[in-house]
Structure 1
Amino acid sequence: MQLRYTYRVYPTAPQRSALARTFGCVRTVFNDAVAARRRAYAEGLPFPSTAQLDKLLITAAKRTPERAWLAEVSTVPLQQALRDCHAAYRNFFDSLKGKRVGAKAGPPKFKLRSNRQAARFTRNGFSLRANGRLYLAKIGDLRVAWSRGLAAEPTSVTIIKTSTGKYFASFVIALEDDAQRLEPIAGPEAETGIDLGLKDFAVVRGGKVIENPRFFKRMERQLQKAQRQLSRKRKGSANRAKARVKVAKIHERTRNMREDWLHKQVMTLVGENQALFVEDLCVKGLLRGRAAKSVHDAAWSSFLSKLESKAARAGRNFVRVDRFFPSTQMCSACGALTGPAGLSDLGIRAWACECGATHDRDANAEINIRREGQRLAAATLP
């Protein structure tokens, strides 16, 4: 099992210049690799291997006047750029053949100079000093804000510069599969369904409601004001650059608040429940409707992926219920499909069944999701 640990780093002015050169060289090598493979395809030749591109685009290129500046940075992140290009093409071909699960992957594109940049160093290009500094080849010792300790020796580190000008070091560590396993929780009360929504973020066992924080909506007025100021600045001016950073900081703050809140909710749910049952929502389809902004703000996909990952690491059971299961429409008392259904009934928050039972819309859906998840989990047992 591989995990990422990310920390803020504070490079000096000379180190920031060296990192800028490294980011530019990484982007150039990646684009040269994409161009070489496109050229080979156009000429009907086999794709050059990563080793061939390493000799051609790094070793030999350093001896040419056009690419002599590649020698100013470490070779390690340049080699990782070639491996990233190779992995991107492999994902593209696996997607064409149906071997890759998930959305279709397109062919690699040329990288543009953007406001977010990154470079990856393997063990040959970095080391951790005894004084807590992070050494990077041809860059020097970076000061790191160690918010927590590393659980194991890192195998690689990615240096990231965000659109707001902040620098982060993202370490990859390898742990045993059961290293983060929690003590099992016995009893039927330790199982919950999770019904996601927009009015309330989620409803769990017992009708407990997790309120929707709506982080983007809270920051939207500040963002609109900052974007208006940005639109009035002359392109290429220093004031426009400052206004762009101001907009980026609002986006960054919104994202950080949302990520922190999601992690805390996931930790609470995984810590209190042995089994978690959720509805397999088609979030991409919901993003085409009128509530697209609210769906984006709720970040259901991010929440479910975090919950599934953390549940697997903690030894919890995680089951997705089919999205076409009528959890809202079904009466949890008698099983009749008499509840609200379709877009026209979204405003119905409570309803009465023909059997006489009265239901809260979301609490009833949580019960049905939990029961269906328990049935699916029992069906998979040997």
Structure 2
Amino acid sequence: MKRQSDKKTENAFIRTLVYRLYPSKADQVRFQSYCDYRRYIWNQYKDESDHAYQRYRYEKTYYAKLGMKVKAKDFCSKYPTLIRTKKQINHDKKAWEYQYPSKIALMAMTDYDNAMSNFINKAMPDWGKPKFRSKRNPRQGFKLPAKSFKLSGKTITVAKGRKDKKHGNLVLKTRQEFLDYPTGTVSFYMEKGRYYVAVPYIIPKEKLKSNTEFKGTAGIDLNVNHYNLYDGQHQVIDLNMKQLKFYYERIKHYQRLLARKRKFDKKNIGSHNYLETKTKLQRDYSRVVNIQNDFLQKLVLKLCQKYERIIIEDLDVKHMKMGISSKGLHRSMFGAFRHVLTYKCEQYPNELIVADRLYPSTQICSKCQYRKTGDEKITLWGNKKHHTKHNEYICYQCGAELDRDENASINLYQYLESKWYKEKSRTEKQTV
């Protein structure tokens, strides 16, 4: 069982937990057929929506020549009337469709409507038009609303189709017991030969609060392969564990084998040896992800139970990964660390302070607050003017010699007392 995502409501937290399922061979076939049915409805509904969208674009250009504007919201409100509604699609079902739960089709169509409305709003992250769902995608799944399944102990029961006389209800088992809190939309999916279910729970805040007493402040500087923490004493959290090094070497070996097979034997890519090495590569990747998630959850839990106030940087991870050390940044889990830390701090509760993105924590001296500018700045390659390394910080005013990452963590620890934070708070008050 692993935690997937947590969201906050007024009086409770919506916590989503992922359970692994262990279906029989017959249930695996039914599970796969439910996934295929959702994919069929999605693609069918997409074809009809594309015709309406083409008409919207035609009318938009036509009215633009006349000096009139057609808003993008009109597509979500007006043009779905050109498509068959959800009730009409359920009414026009074919005979073979009645052996599947009708809620699978309804959830597929609602998800596509939400994806299309996000496509029209270009301000949404990862903006793009909904794509065709292929059966070759490594991840297949379907969704069900709250009233179409039952949770009891270690089993989840899915209601069968209305005219399915051959089978009973689909009963899937797990090794962990489900919680007794109310749930919402549940998503079933299969990936790499394993079956999972993601169950959201609405848990009251009172039952999530801990009785630990928080003490002190911690400043955390995120770096490739290690985190630097300062709470009065400097600590280095190493991310390169022995297990990960072993799996990284084996992943590199399997990738070389696959690249060699693609280069010299392009016709037999689907051979037995090729598929065998591919499954081994996927197995090692999944093990690395599990080790990293387990380490991250335990690390954040210790931080939230120990410190009252945690200060981190606001890093632009998406653009940082476009640089040279993209693999190291990806393995250092900058984005995942901040995501887990935000909802953990709301749960306990802690005060999470995110320093401004322009705050130069690596360029300021932690002892005399001297800031390096121009040719004196420290880069990833050090400083050419003074011939210093990238991990050395030498203050040219007070003469202090510190490690670069240690100096940055101390500056984050002192962020609330810095001139940068005080000026920022003043400007915010003036604007308000």
Question: TM class, shorter-chain normalised?
Answer: 0.7 to 0.9
Does the C-alpha gap of structure 1 residues 374 and 355 become closer, same or farther in structure 2, counting only changes over 3 Å? closer
Equivalents in 2 of 1:216, 1:310: separation in Å?
25
Q: Following TM superposition, by how much is the alpha carbon of 1:184 offset from its aligned partner in structure 2, in angstroms?
A: 6.9
Larger Cα Rg: Structure 1 or Structure 2? 2
Equivalents in 2 of 1:374, 1:180: separation in Å?
32
Contact 1:88–1:108 (CA<8 Å) still a contact in 2? yes
**TM-score, length-scaled by structure 1:** 0.86
State yes or no: 1:77 paired with 2:104.
yes
The amino acid of 1:361's aligned partner reads R
Structure 2 residue aligned with 1:201: 227
User: Per-residue displacement from partner, 1:5-30 (whole Å, max 9, x unpaired)?
Assistant: 11111111111111111101111111
Contact 1:350–1:358 (CA<8 Å) still a contact in 2? yes
Structure 2 residue aligned with 1:119: 142
The amino acid of 1:264's aligned partner reads K
Equivalents in 1 of 2:129, 2:206: separation in Å?
36
Does the C-alpha gap of structure 1 residues 366 and 39 become closer, same or farther in structure 2, counting only changes over 3 Å? same
Contact 2:345–2:352 (CA<8 Å) still a contact in 1? yes
Q: Following TM superposition, by how much is the alpha carbon of 1:243 offset from its aligned partner in structure 2, in angstroms?
A: 3.3
Alignment of 1:1-382 (within 5 A): 1-44=13-56, 46-48=78-80, 52-60=84-92, 62-63=93-94, 68-94=95-121, 96=122, 98=123, 100=124, 103-113=125-135, 114-129=137-152, 132-138=154-160, 139-146=169-176, 149-150=178-179, 152-163=181-192, 165-183=193-211, 185=213, 187=215, 190-205=216-231, 206-213=233-240, 218-230=246-258, 232=261, 234-338=268-372, 341-345=378-382, 347-353=389-395, 354-373=397-416, 376=421, 379=425
Q: Following TM superposition, by how much is the alpha carbon of 1:238 offset from its aligned partner in structure 2, in angstroms?
A: 4.7
Which structure 2 residue ranges, 5 or more long, are not aligned?
1-12, 57-74, 161-168, 384-388
Identity, % of aligned positions: 23
Tell me, what secondary structure is at the counterpart of 1:343? coil
Tell me, what secondary structure is at the counterpart of 2:20? strand
Contact 2:220–2:227 (CA<8 Å) still a contact in 1? no
The amino acid of 1:79's aligned partner reads L
User: Per-residue displacement from partner, 1:264-312 (whole Å, max 9, x unpaired)?
Assistant: 1111111111111111111122112211111111111111111112112
Which structure 1 residue ranges, 5 or more long, are not aligned?
none
User: Per-residue displacement from partner, 1:323-380 (whole Å, max 9, x unpaired)?
Assistant: 2211111011111024752232184333332213332222221121122246659948
Tell me, what secondary structure is at the counterpart of 2:221? strand
Does the C-alpha gap of structure 1 residues 4 and 276 become closer, same or farther in structure 2, counting only changes over 3 Å? same
Does the C-alpha gap of structure 1 residues 341 and 226 become closer, same or farther in structure 2, counting only changes over 3 Å? same
Equivalents in 1 of 2:128, 2:191: separation in Å?
25
Contact 1:194–1:369 (CA<8 Å) still a contact in 2? yes
Equivalents in 2 of 1:218, 1:300: separation in Å?
22
Q: Following TM superposition, by how much is the alpha carbon of 1:117 offset from its aligned partner in structure 2, in angstroms?
A: 1.1
* Range 337-346 or range 205-214, more displaced: 337-346
Does the C-alpha gap of structure 1 residues 201 and 186 become closer, same or farther in structure 2, counting only changes over 3 Å? closer
Tell me, what secondary structure is at the counterpart of 2:103? helix
Q: Following TM superposition, by how much is the alpha carbon of 1:2 offset from its aligned partner in structure 2, in angstroms?
A: 1.1
Tell me, what secondary structure is at the counterpart of 1:208? strand
Q: Following TM superposition, by how much is the alpha carbon of 1:56 offset from its aligned partner in structure 2, in angstroms?
A: 3.7
* Range 119-128 or range 252-261, more displaced: 119-128
Tell me, what secondary structure is at the counterpart of 1:14? helix
